[in-house]
Chains A and B, each alone.
Chain A
Amino acid sequence: MGGAPGGTPSTAAHALLPSVDPVQLVDPDGHASHDERYPLPDGRRLLDAYGRLVAGRRINDQANALVRQGRLAVYPSSHGQEACQVAAAVVLGEEDWLFPTYRDTVAVITRGVDPLEVLTLLRGDWHAGYDPYEHRVATQATPLATQLLHAVGVAHAAKLRGESTVVLAMCGDGATSEGDFHEALNFAAVFHVPVVFFIQNNEFAISVPLKNQTVAPSLAHKAIGYGMPGERVDGNDLAALLAVLGAAVDRARDGGGPSLVEAHTYRMQAHTNADDATRYRSADDVERWVPKDPIVRMRAYLRGLDLLTDEGERILADEADVVAAAIRAGLNTEVDVNPQELFEYVYTEKTSQLREQAALLREELERDADAAAAGTGGSMEGDQR
């Protein structure tokens, strides 16, 4: 009933609880297992998603290298979390919306946004590099958990208009402590809107481990308090992620309302290049996650079924190379920033104050240009009045 509360507080509590163990369909050795509730995605679907996984890893590695070369200001890598990234993007239809965090570059690219546009934010060019409406991907931003409420709003508007849009909203484990996380879940449940909340629990919020965020049995358990189902899934198992997130999206689309999915994964690299991960975790801790790598696992599974061949692997690697090369080439060109643009988008129509300030900056720039042409080396720093 649109604006009216449509939740069902009487739902039996046990029906909302996550499974005891995170859902896993393919184990770290690449062996599939059977799960009553979540059928294994078919081979073609897995192979296609695997290709995006390989590309995602390549994008992460390339972006990290570009930070070291000073071409990107910062990069929060999702190395090790690529299965979550790929699954979040591919379970959505064209009419759906994705709400990513700053770490979810690979998910955004997998959804179809031009990698160069996605990296604009991290490059220091302009705040949000892409048009959110083009691929129905909200902009990445850093205030934690705030986007979850925007996701609820988009879903609510779609529902009022009778559209079948589903919104998938991502956040990290640390973000679940923020007030906006709780308000978003509550609003989504009360208004019964089609949102899938997707937590990537990678065990750390910068340096702070999960045990400092919560003593709940799991983050997925938080769902029950809002009257929506929660589910836990192995965050390094592409097959399980596709199955669990896909089921949550289907459920939302069928009018079943919101749900919460927690994927347990691990951040293999530092929070960003500014972070020193050795201060809060040991190399051994990280090593323990190496055998659980989402790519190694899915590769073993697909090779075991002969769905993936040497030839197929070479093609995928080449495709990933092409993406990486395009990113490299794009970021090696200088950014062309226009200082006059600073005033363009603050209001639909420039205020007289902004017109004055734009004129001031224009004069300064012209004076600088004149001085440079005359070889007198004038600089804006020398002209602070």
Chain B
Amino acid sequence: MTQTTEAPAPGIGGRAGAGAVPAPRATTFAKALNAALADAMEADAAVLMFGEDVGPLGGVFRITDGLTARFGEERCFDTPLAEAGIMGMAVGMAMNGMKPVVEMQFDAFAYPAFEQVVSHVAKMPNRTKGKVRLPIVIRIPYAGGIGGVEHHCDSSEAYYAHTPGLTVLAPATVRDAYFMLREAIASPDPVVFLEPKKLYWSKEEVDLAELRRTFDDGEAPRRIGRAVVARPGTDATLISYGPSVPTALAAAAAAAEEGRSIEVIDLRSIVPFDDETVCASVRRTGRAVVVAEAPGFASVASEIVARVQERCFHSLAAPVLRVTGFDIPYPSPKLEHFYLPSVDRILDAVDDLQWEDRP
């Protein structure tokens, strides 16, 4: 299950100059999502993109940049400003043969669509015994860390993860952004696709044309329901997803300097949850900390702790701990760094994992 080859490529240097094969270029997370949308629309005429400001503007984060110009306003279009309308219309379009990808402008503005999501998107396939499939992707720019004002930074994954019938994904790397969005669009089930806003401008050296070839040839390993070891280690496991993965990786790097080998799991897929990869890691290391940005109470982090205790109890040398946001509404920009899980807070939690060999 370990796919360390999928980890971010190392920095530039030593690469041969321009030859027949173009060198991978620094590509942002946002650009990878844009390419995934364009490639999916190119590959399948049933794929449509709509929402607020996604047309000529290209979305407030430019994820849909150029799609209207390239595919026409029937394939990528602006709707009236009404999230339930966007969501409900997507249900009908999916019922009638389309594969709608909708953009909710920000996490907290998806709430007007919540009834459509939980009552219909999530339930329609089940209540019709699979007769009606809803291959809808709900893209949500999500979570904080960008100095945004309130209502632009919510971590809403628990609401969706608590609703059976929804697949809930949160990529953390540029490659995953591309592959997971393509996989989400190809899925016959509805997918809530959470895009960590603070990672939109993160970069990796990837060749988008190569990613497209890999996906179209069916060679990209499946990501829905599959976690990945983002950094191998032996002493403890950090379990994370989406915006918190880079923080967890930074904490693991810092711990290495102190002589601790920390493994980092990037879940990628919150629902379905990859018990296998998570438990295999925790059984190996015997210690675990869950890192997530959402308030901790009744959260996805809580669920992961419970699952790990239930399944790995006999392998555990210490209780499974959590480093999460506080149980407060998302704070204002000047205060958000007090709220967000930090490297220090993660290292403190790791220190609390009852190490016998050290004080």
- Residues on A lying within 8 angstroms of B by beta carbon are 1-4, 126-128, 131-133, 138-139, 141, 143, 146, 148-158, 160-161, 179-180, 183-184, 186-187, 190, 341, 344-348, 351-353
Contacts and interface: CB of A to CB of B under 8 A. Distances in A.
Nearest to B271: A351
Interface in B152-167: 164-165, 167
Given A150-B92, A153-B96, A183-B82, A3 B75 contact: yes
A348 B167 CA distance: 11
A143 B93 CA distance: 19
Contacts, number: 158
Given A146-B115, A150-B91, A154-B93, A183 B80 contact: yes
Contacts of B189: 347-348
Interface stretch (B120-128, B172-180, B243-251): B120-128
A351 B226 CA distance: 11
Nearest to A143: B119
B352 interface: no
A155 B184 CA distance: 25
A133 B88 CA distance: 18
Interface stretch (B21-29, B129-137, B327-335, B342-350): B129-137
Nearest to A352: B275
A315 to B, nearest CB: 35
B73 A179 contact: no
B312 to A, nearest CB: 15
B357 interface: no
B98 interface: yes
Contacts of B97: 157, 161
Q: Which of B92, B97, B115, B273 has the most CB of A within 10 A?
A: B92
Contact of A353 (B89, B126, B272): B272
Interface residues of B, number: 54
B92 A153 contact: yes
A305 to B, nearest CB: 41
A2 B71 CA distance: 13
B23 to A, nearest CB: 38
B92 A179 contact: no
B50 interface: yes
A118 to B, nearest CB: 14
B294 interface: no
Contact of A347 (B94, B115, B167): B167
B241 interface: no
Interface in B74-95: 74-77, 79-80, 82, 84-85, 87-95
B221 interface: no
B351 interface: no
Interface string B56-83: 0000000000000000111111011010
A3 B129 contact: no
A268 B115 CA distance: 31
B127 A4 contact: no
B8 interface: no
Nearest to A153: B92
A3 B50 contact: yes
A128 B84 CA distance: 23
Contacts of B105: none
Contacts of A4: 73-74, 77
A2 B50 CA distance: 13
Nearest to A142: B119
Given A180-B88, A183-B80, A345 B125 contact: yes
B95 A154 contact: yes
Q: What 4 A-B pairs come out closest when comparing CB atoms?
A: A153-B92, A149-B88, A127-B127, A183-B85
Interface in B99-141: 100, 112, 115-116, 119-120, 123-133
A126 B80 CA distance: 36
Contacts of A157: 92-93, 95-98
Most buried by B among A1, A127, A157: A157
Nearest to B187: A348
Contact of B88 (A127, A146, A155, A344): A146
Given A150-B95, A351-B225, 20 more contacts: A3-B72, A3-B76, A3-B77, A126-B129, A128-B129, A131-B128, A132-B128, A143-B119, A150-B91, A155-B92, A157-B95, A179-B82, A345-B126, A345-B128, A345-B130, A346-B164, A346-B165, A348-B130, A348-B187, A352-B272
A3 B74 contact: yes
Contacts of A186: 80, 82, 85
A180 B73 contact: no
Contacts of A190: 79-80
Contact of B127 (A128, A131, A148, A161): A128
A179 B112 contact: yes
Contacts of B77: 3-4
28 contacts: A1-B74, A127-B128, A132-B128, A133-B131, A138-B95, A146-B88, A148-B88, A153-B89, A153-B95, A153-B96, A154-B93, A154-B95, A157-B92, A157-B93, A157-B96, A157-B97, A160-B74, A180-B88, A187-B79, A187-B85, A345-B129, A346-B126, A347-B167, A347-B189, A351-B271, A351-B273, A352-B276, A353-B275
Contact of A132 (B76, B88, B123, B131): B131
B316 to A, nearest CB: 20
Contacts of B88: 146, 148-150, 152-153, 180, 183-184
Contacts of A158: 96
Contacts of B100: 153
A57 B74 CA distance: 44
Which one of B95, B100, B272 has the greatest number of beta carbons of chain A within 10 Å?
B95
A140 B105 CA distance: 31
Contacts of B92: 149-157
Contacts of A3: 48, 50, 72-77
Nearest to B188: A348
Contacts of B116: 146, 149, 180
Contacts of B187: 348
Nearest to B88: A149
